[in-house]
Amino acid sequence: MTLFNAFVAQPIPGLAVTIAVSAAFLMGFARSGLGTGGFVVSPLMVLGLGATDGLAVVAVLMLPAAVLGVWQHRGEAGPSLLRPLIPAAFVGTSIGGLLLWLLVAAGQMDLIHRRIELVVAGLSLVYVAMMALRNQIANIGGGPAAPRPLGIFLVGTGLGVSQTVANSGAPLLTVYFVRHGIDKARFVAAQLDFLLVQNLLKLVPLLLLDILHLGNAGAALVLIPVTMIGSLVGERFYQAASKRLFFGFYIALLVVGFVVSVLLIIGRARVLSLI
């Protein structure tokens, strides 16, 4: 096993590197520019590097993206959003770690990979649908109202579960905050603060289950500079983008996320065999 095994062991290494670099850039750009992006980056990286390596590499890349994003948006979230979110990160990650163990504890590697592909793709499609219908959801019950701590905690717990098993789920918070009329600056900052804590926590189950190891850690380290560049570009986009452009880019991510998720449902091995 080499430090770059996640690249060289792929059926089409050149394609794997291209997809991985694109996903790493999107990770940084979407984190700093939108406060989200895992629902696209996670299936894209799984398509490029395979289920377990893709899951591990995205988990590592989320850390520098979150650190830079938190620094860029420091102080914007406010304690009323963060107080229920931080304990939710611990609860959600614990539940998610148990579910991840159930996914990988039994079966041959092909079966384990297929389970993860379907979970990642399925959740990404759910989040694509949520973002596409965010305006309709925001008007349910007569329009926005101030969010309650219990509601924030429950949504944050669900996000922690989803982030642990699939590296995605931020649309849960995005739609929830839009539903309650939270402005863009606060909900992007709150998501980034939550994700920094949660991304650190989820390394524990990934290491214990041997999903993250030297064979894919090297690939993640190589891609970190790409993610950092994406973060800097994303921050410029965030500062300059109108609300229309901000959500317009979301639409573009939705299309990519939908297409890649459908490919994973078809099956990575089957798709690559056709190339």
Say yes or no to pLDDT of 136 above 80.
no
Distance (Å, rounded) from C-alpha 246 to C-alpha 178?
13
| Range of lowest pLDDT (47-61, 104-118, 170-184, 191-205) | 170-184
Q: What is the pLDDT of residues 153-195, one digit of tens each?
A: 998 999 999 999 998 887 788 788 777 777 777 777 888 888 8
Number of domains in the chain: 1
Residue written as tokens 């107080």? 83
Instruction: Give the pLDDT mean for 109-117.
Output: 91
Cα separation of 131 and 233, whole Å?
A: 23
Please check whether residue 205 is in contact with residue 72, taking contact to mean a CB–CB distance below 8 angstroms: no
Confidence at 2, pLDDT banded by 50, 70, 90: low
Taking the C-alpha atoms of 273, 222, 117 and 261 in order, what is their torsion angle to the nearest 10 degrees?
-80
In terms of residue numbers, what domain contains 12? 5-273
**Listed range (24-28, 68-72, 196-200, 202-206) with the worst mean pLDDT:** 68-72
Q: Is the pLDDT of residue 115 over 60?
A: yes
pLDDT band of residue 69 (cuts 50, 70, 90) is: confident
Candidate from 94-103, 185-194, 242-251 with smallest mean pLDDT: 242-251
Distance between CA 195 and CA 75 in Å, rounded?
15
Residue 246 has pLDDT above 80, yes or no: no
Distance CA 246, CA 240 (A): 9
63 pLDDT more than 70: yes
C-alpha–C-alpha distance, residues 271 and 275, integer Å: 7
Q: Sorting pLDDT into bands at 50, 70 and 90, what band is 141?
A: low
Q: What confidence score (pLDDT) does residue 145 get?
A: 67
d(CA 112, CA 89): 26
| pLDDT tens-digit readout, 199-214 | 999 999 999 999 998 8
| pLDDT at res. 138 | 66
The better pLDDT of the pair 269, 242 is held by 269
Q: Residue 108, Cβ neighbours under 10 Å: how many?
A: 8
Q: What are the start-end ranges of the H helices in the chain?
A: 5-8, 13-34, 38-49, 51-72, 79-104, 109-132, 134-138, 149-166, 170-179, 184-201, 203-208, 214-240, 243-266, 268-273
Q: Tell me the average pLDDT across 105-129.
A: 88
- Global pTM? 0.85
User: Where does the pLDDT of residue 93 fall: very low under 50, low under 70, confident under 90, or very high at 90 and above?
Assistant: very high
